[in-house]
């Protein structure tokens, strides 16, 4: 499996802005595919003590570790974004992919593609990128980032939570 390689935040911002201005797309997703909610329809739900604008979002996985993928989820309509579980031990060498369904389904626990420090940076970059896209008005009027909930789990034991 290919290694995940984070992209610098300024590069992501420049690419998103240029693509939107030149091709009406962001990270190759055409603007016509962006989710633009109807102000007449309230799809919001309570979630983890917050109000999510709708109950749609990706399940955690390697794809929810990179900022541009999280931003793409948001552009496509996700408002509950389940981030990859952060593990206490991020130095384990495990087979990839961590879920294999070729002949028999199994899951290698304690898997994490990025080191903890990189995971945190990616999640912060994703949040900032979504705020920037919202401020640019790519979904119409600004304020669409309101109602976006990031859900994260940490470790599988008390040490991992700490």
Give me the pLDDT at residue 28, please. Answer: 97
Read off the pLDDT of residues 130-148 as tens digits, 9 standing for 90 and up.
Answer: 999 999 999 998 999 999 9
Angle formed at CA 63 by CA 102 and CA 10, multiple of 5 degrees: 150
Q: What is the dihedral of CA 61, 130, 57, 70, to 10 degrees?
A: -20
Q: How far apart are CA 146 and CA 54, in angstroms?
A: 11
Q: Would you say residue 84 has pLDDT above 60?
A: yes
State the Cα–Cα distance between residues 112 and 127, nearest whole angstrom. Answer: 20
Looking at residue 63, its pLDDT comes to 83
pTM metric for this prediction: 0.84
pLDDT of residue 138: 96
The Cα 139–Cα 136 span in angstroms is 9
Number of Cβ within 10 Å of residue 119's Cβ equals: 23
């Amino acid at each position: 499996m290919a290694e995940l390689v984070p992209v610098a935040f300024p590069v992501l911002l420049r690419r998103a802005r240029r693509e939107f201005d030149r091709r009406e797309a962001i990270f190759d997703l055409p603007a016509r595919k962006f989710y633009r909610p109807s102000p007449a329809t309230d799809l919001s739900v309570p979630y983890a003590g917050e109000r999510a604008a709708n109950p749609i979002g990706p399940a955690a996985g390697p794809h929810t570790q990179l900022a541009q993928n999280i931003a793409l989820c948001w552009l496509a309509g996700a408002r509950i974004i389940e981030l990859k579980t952060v593990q206490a031990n991020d130095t384990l060498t495990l087979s990839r992919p961590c879920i294999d369904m070729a002949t028999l389904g199994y899951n290698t626990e304690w898997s994490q593609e990025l080191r903890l420090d990189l995971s945190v940076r990616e999640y912060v970059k994703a949040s900032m990128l979504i705020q920037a896209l919202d401020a640019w008005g790519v979904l119409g009027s600004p304020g669409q980032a309101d109602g976006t909930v990031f859900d994260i789990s940490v470790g599988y034991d008390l040490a991992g939570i700490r």
